[in-house]
Chain A
Amino acid sequence: MLKIEGLNRSFGDRQVLHDITFDVARGRLTGFVGGNGAGKTTTMRIVLGVLAAESGSVTLDGHALTAADRVDFGYMPEERGLYPKMKVAEQVAYLGRLHGLDRGAAMDRARDLLDRLGLAERADDPLETLSLGNQQRAQIAAALVHDPQVLVLDEPFSGLDPLAVDVVVGVLAEYAASGVPVLFSSHQLELVERLCDDLVIISGGRIRAAGGREELRAAHGTTRFELVTDGDVGWVRSAPGVQVVDFDGGYALFEAAEDAAQAVLRDALARDAVRSFTPVRPTLGEIFREVVADEPELEVAR
């Protein structure tokens, strides 16, 4: 398990990370969510050792990370970057060599990856001649060329077309399934919601929530209920302990405690045929907004 504990970091007078603590478990995809400038990139840079923390620690399976451990990390920075004029396969192989692969193995691995990412025909073209989406694929190849044992990806999906998103999702899932801790950040909340096993929400340089997706859903936001019947459900508005959010003929969406909700259901069954009664868990977007609500200046980018 990758454990991040008590990270603090300032730039000049501005403290950008306050006591950042969370875990990235093996075998699970961990999503890292936060607004612009919340501290995601700084945290990831510290995990990668690209930036130093003023205090705090990052440990892998209980021991402090060394440069030798980090060589097995796969990293995709938010600011994408490869050599624009260098041939794609060549630079992916070069990065592989920097991570300790020998020349031949690095080139084989680079070609193999590019082939699987659908870039085989462009492998010997300079990077700058590729479309942005294809450059993004090359970037992914660069992060994976050395078969990383920990994956840290900053916004891996931004700029990808839906097909490429599927490829990357597949890759991440496979890596996680094989026991590699995978941490990735994203602005695309519904994508994170679909993918992640664990969630970390950061805002204003502080961790606002961290844990399993379902636990967070249970702990945050209010549970709502959706009721659909054959008749008119206008009466729900006057039911005790119920706050109706939305209402339209036989459809009602309301907030209520469990008991009150069950009372409403019994009442509804007595009146008409009930087509559906469902608890509606808050979406990640709702949790996110609730959790970061005390940060008024925060831009919630989607």
Chain B
Amino acid sequence: MSAPTTTTPTTTPPTPPRATAPGRPARPSTPRLALMVAEREVVTQVRTKSFIISTAILFAAVLVSIVAGALLAGSDDPTKVAVVGTAADVVADMDGLEPVDAADRAAAEQLVRDGDVSAAVVPDEENVLGFRLLALDSAPEEVVAALSVSPEVELLDEPDTDEGLRYLVSFGFGLVFLMSAAGYGATIAQSTVQEKQSRVVEILLSAVPSRALLAGKILGNSALAFGQTAGLAAMAVIGLVVTGQEDVLDMLGAPLVWFVGFFLIGFVLLAAMYAASASLVSRVEDVGSVVMPSTMLTMVPYFGVIFFNDNEVVLNVLSYVPFSAPVAMPMRLFLGDAMWWEPLVALALLVVTTLGVIAVGAKIYERSLLRTGARVKLGEVLRQA
């Protein structure tokens, strides 16, 4: 507060008001007000350092994981093998093996010991094959496999998805939902309490119905969460295509679309809960404890799906519970064990729950906004006629 209080002398007071009101602007409709609130919410958020930094980190993380994935997948780098004399012919045409010439057996042994090569192929007249392999402390599987003859294997019932990928996908869906919901939930809670703490809420309420305020807050933050997630997804898709990993995309396809739908509605559900619970307290310091139930409900789907991703019964149940459906149902679709109607039923349940929570949340929000001081008791707010 260093600014001088009286920089300017008393000047003419603001223009006198118009005497009558024929050309006064009409009161904006509730949806328009909600949009204005949403716009402010987005603009303010996007300008904060924390938003810029966290977005940059997220994008970098996705980029790094895709590039890393490409590198790991493409790690068919030829295995280096030392070759001595005539043994060179054995390795010459082998895929995946890169011969390194060595003068004699001693030199080849040295290369193996130094770790420059995985194994050495040296001539051995006594052996049927005419060569033998030298390795440090274990049989060099890759080289053995490359130099062996093995029968062609044909699987009659090829599995669509392997364990690792299943785990990865459940982890991915869960993580995206958890991060967005918890992150933006906290943002909504903060912004609600800040408006209460800074008392600006009273001025806002004199112009904007609390419904529009709540709707705008949810809308703005949902748009941000969704925009950010969509941006990440777009980058992931482009990255996968550029690095030649399109096959992963083919597998995700439809479940991803469902995930988007569930994500949107599930997010609104949690957002309403965060806003309503945050409106009960008046100080930013108290936000943590009051949003705890919402935070728990945000965590449930994540851990539930991670822990039980191979337990069909639990996963089935989770895919219908509104709080975990956004993660569990796309997961089941991905695994291919959900009937076509199941996501529709789960989505309907989610929508109904969301509408109910919004209705109750709006009441709590409306009744608590102007109550400052001690934490408002939930029961007290709900009992009010």
Contacts and interface: CB of A to CB of B under 8 A. Distances in A.
Is B one of A's binding partners?
yes
B13 A118 contact: no
Given A98-B36, A116-B11, A80 B199 contact: yes
B14 interface: yes
A179 B17 CA distance: 9
B202 interface: yes
Given A79-B372, A81-B200, A147 B27 contact: no
B2 A147 contact: no
A175 B202 contact: no
Contacts of A112: 14-15
Nearest to A102: B25
Contact of A116 (B5, B14, B17, B37): B14
B207 A45 contact: no
B148 interface: no
A81 B206 contact: no
Contacts of A79: 199, 202, 372
A2 B372 CA distance: 28
A73 interface: yes
Contacts of A180: 17
Contact of A99 (B5, B8, B25): B25
A174 interface: yes
B21 to A, nearest CB: 6
A97 B33 CA distance: 9
B345 to A, nearest CB: 40
B127 interface: no
Interface string A73-109: 1010101111111100000001101111110010000
Nearest to B48: A85
Interface string B284-301: 000000000000000000
Contacts of B9: 118, 163
Chain B, interface size: which category? Answer: 35 or more
B1 interface: yes
Given A50-B370, A79-B372, A131 B4 contact: yes
Contact of A70 (B3, B198, B206): B206
Given A81-B203, A134-B3, A178 B13 contact: no
A36 to B, nearest CB: 15
A196 B12 CA distance: 21
A113 B14 contact: yes
A71 B208 CA distance: 9
Interface residues of A, number: 67
B8 A118 contact: yes
A131 B208 contact: no
B207 A99 contact: yes
Contact of B202 (A81, A83, A119, A167): A81
Interface in B32-52: 33, 36-37, 40, 44
Interface string A177-217: 11110000000000000000000000000000000000000
A298 to B, nearest CB: 21
Contacts of A95: 203-204, 207
Nearest to A48: B206
A121 B3 CA distance: 11
Nearest to A72: B24
Interface string A159-181: 00101101110110011011110
24 contacts: A50-B206, A72-B24, A73-B206, A79-B202, A80-B199, A82-B200, A83-B198, A97-B36, A99-B25, A100-B25, A100-B26, A100-B27, A112-B15, A120-B8, A130-B3, A131-B3, A131-B4, A131-B5, A134-B5, A142-B203, A144-B14, A147-B18, A163-B6, A164-B6
9 tightest Cβ-Cβ pairs between the two chains A and B = A81-B199, A118-B8, A100-B25, A133-B5, A170-B13, A79-B199, A81-B200, A71-B27, A77-B202
